[in-house]
Amino acid sequence: MVTPPEASNLLEVRGLTVCYDTAMLLNNVSLSVGRGELVGLVGPNGAGKTTLLRTVAGLVRWEKQSKQGTRAGNITIAGEVRFDGERIDSLPPHVIARRGLVLCPERRRPFTELTVADNLMAGAYLQKDRRALRETLDMVHQMFPVLKQRARQISGTLSGGEQQMLAIGRALMTRPRLLCVDEPSTGLSPLVKKELFAKISEINRRGITVLLVEQDTALTLSVCARSYVLSHSRIVASGARQDLLADQTVHRSYLGLQSP
Amino acid sequence: MLTDILITTLINASVYAMLATGFSLIFGVARIINLAHTAFYMLAGYFIFSFTTVLGLGLLPAMLLSIALVVVIAVLSYRILIDPMREHEAAVLIITVALAMVFQELMLVFYGGHFRSVPQLVSGYVTVLGVRVSSQYVVTIGALVAILAAVWLVLMKTRLGLAIRATAQDREIANVMGMDVSLISTVTMAIASAQAAAAGALVAPLFILEPRMWLYPLTIVLAIVVLGGIGSLKGSIIASAIIALSETLVTFLLPSGAFLKGAFSLGVMIVVLLIRPEGLFGVSFEGER
Ligand SMILES: Nc1ncnc2c1ncn2[C@@H]1O[C@H](COP(=O)(O)OP(=O)(O)OP(=O)(O)O)[C@@H](O)[C@H]1O
Ligand SMILES: [Mg+2]
């Protein structure tokens, strides 16, 4: 289960431990995502999946700094995060985003009072080349046509599924190298969920590395070549779908799946 | 008299709108209630007084220089005193009101408590719709409206404006999209204080300068922001017009009771809030995260 440190990995997390006061949210977590991979991260509620993505994106450290001395309490972070071979664990979130690691957050969080078009343009904030921006926008519109039809609509009034497409579209507008998606399928109907997973695979096929956090274990394992299982702040298993399914303990205790 | 009411209302409404939109802007982006906001307006007036009477500069260069100086002071205050306390709301209130008091006392030390005045930018009269109006009034209103329009354009049509609006909505997500929110907050502070300073600079020739001149506008700005709906620029502008009009009406219809204008306009605010607690254009306040 120990991943050998490989320079070729796009994301390399080693020994990451995060505590909020005395609560340990992540306990010595290590994982890696290779270039071009689509990697899943599953686990029960409260396992620490969101915390992991927020730490990687620099938000936990930012929160630690900005909330220092407030009632929010003390946050301690230990361990290493490498992106494209370089340490990013002391960089602020906007610099991490500039390097190409972008988070599509839990609960979508569109800029609710901005229009759909403005949300996408906010994603393109770093994009100064107008032609490249146009291309990315066309790509996003092609992938999610509803974002084009509803360009002038205030995004807070979109449906949940549309908001999710907007959140992914906005993240794609940054032209990420690694897209970390946190529970995109929450609240979606089974059919829309399937479509969404297909889109995520498509994004990956277009050359964007994806780290996908999900509740729907069956679907996640089926689209991801490789997955990690996080439970009670620790990585308890990892591997390809067949390996995870073959392991009876993992199967029963963490995945709650029917045997295939 | 109708023209006088109109002109006074327009001047006051545009001054209040300048002050209130700046106040809203920095509140939205940095989540700070800056009680020193109108002190920047006061400082600009005094700086112009110094630059024109002490250094003998022309009024226009004195205005520009004053605005620049106020922006520098505001940005430094923000970075050194306010930003580090951002998460402690009560500390921000105390620090900013202390800052305003310090500015007030410094003006008292340097200029005494006397009323001061500043020369006019233009003299003479123009005829608007058949009525003679002092050119200074027309220039002042025109400049205030032009600056307000420019700020609106920057917010709605530029990349910086989009970043400001996005940061005001959700700092964390703005940050994740690659926006340097701390830089954007500082730039917003510069814009907001420039608005306050420009308002102060433009009305300096019309009003009388005195060290406590920040206090009344501050109360009114708070009332306007609440009345218009916190976070709504459109609301701030319309509320400015309502408050300015009620003030002017009291002053003109009740000459002996002009001192009641504050009480009356704040009363208007209270009545509106009783009917619509979220303000005229209040946006449902969604917490971040
Ligand atoms: N700011 C915080 N302060 C204290 N505890 C926190 C904080 N944020 C999260 N936690 C706790 O950390 C644990 C892990 O939370 P996290 O959001 O990472 O879980 P998750 O795996 O994403 O769960 P879910 O699948 O429900 O989204 C939870 O028990 C949560 O209550
Ligand atoms: Mg989560």
- Chain-centre distance for alpha carbon B155: 17
pTM: 0.92
A118 within domain boundaries: yes
B83 CB near a chain A CB, below 8 Å? no
CATH number (domain holding residue A66) = 3.40.50.300
- pLDDT for the residue B121: 80
Number of domains into which chain A is organized: 1
Judge: A94–B175 Cβ closer than 8 Å, yes or no.
yes
Collapsing DSSP to helix, strand or coil, B21 comes out as: helix
B255 within domain boundaries: no
What are the strands, taking DSSP E only, across chain B? Answer: 125-128, 131-134
Q: Could you tell me which residues come within 8 angstroms of residue B267 by beta carbon, excluding any fewer than 6 positions away?
A: none
A41 Cβ inside 6 Å of ligand 1: no
A229 within domain boundaries: yes
A46 within domain boundaries: yes
Task: Give dist(CA B144, CA A146) in Å, integer.
Answer: 41
B36 within domain boundaries: yes
Separation in Å, CA of A47 to nearest CA in chain B: 19
Judge: B163–A67 Cβ closer than 8 Å, yes or no.
no
A158 within domain boundaries: yes
B96 within domain boundaries: yes
B185 within domain boundaries: yes
Q: Could you tell me which residues come within 8 angstroms of residue B277 by beta carbon, excluding any fewer than 6 positions away?
A: none
Least confident segment among A36-40, A120-124, B56-60: B56-60
Bridge partner list, B132? B127
pLDDT in tens, A168-207: 999 999 999 999 999 999 888 999 899 999 999 999 999 9
Cβ–Cβ < 8 Å for A177, A196: no
A3 within domain boundaries: no
Judge: A59–B176 Cβ closer than 8 Å, yes or no.
yes
B268 within domain boundaries: no
B267 within domain boundaries: no
Question: Which among A59, A92, A125 has the least Cβ separation from residue B163?
Answer: A125
A81 within domain boundaries: yes
B230 within domain boundaries: no
pLDDT in tens, B249-261: 999 888 888 888 8
Interface A:B, Cβ pairs < 8 A: 80
- pLDDT for the residue A71: 67
Question: Which among A62, A114, A170 has the least Cβ separation from residue B175?
Answer: A62
Task: Give dist(CA B27, CA B21) in Å, integer.
Answer: 10
Domain, as residue range, for A144: 8-255
B184 CB near a chain A CB, below 8 Å? no
Separation in Å, CA of B201 to nearest CA in chain A: 33
A46 Cβ inside 6 Å of ligand 1: yes
B159 CB near a chain A CB, below 8 Å? yes
A105 Cβ inside 6 Å of ligand 1: no
Judge: A125–B178 Cβ closer than 8 Å, yes or no.
yes
Domain, as residue range, for B147: 2-212
Task: Give dist(CA B173, CA B26) in Å, integer.
Answer: 18
SS (H, E, C) A143-174: HCHHHHHCCCCEHHHCCHHHHHHHHHHHHHHC
B246 within domain boundaries: no
pLDDT > 70 fraction of chain A, expressed in percent and rounded:
93
- pLDDT for the residue A212: 98
Least confident segment among A57-66, B15-24, B194-203, B277-286: B277-286
Quote the tokens at residue A135. Answer: 């291309």
Number of domains into which chain B is organized: 1
* DSSP code, position A82: E
Collapsing DSSP to helix, strand or coil, A85 comes out as: coil
pLDDT in tens, B221-273: 999 999 998 778 889 999 999 999 999 999 988 888 888 888 988 888 888 88
pLDDT in tens, B49-100: 999 988 999 999 999 999 999 999 999 999 999 999 988 889 999 999 999 9
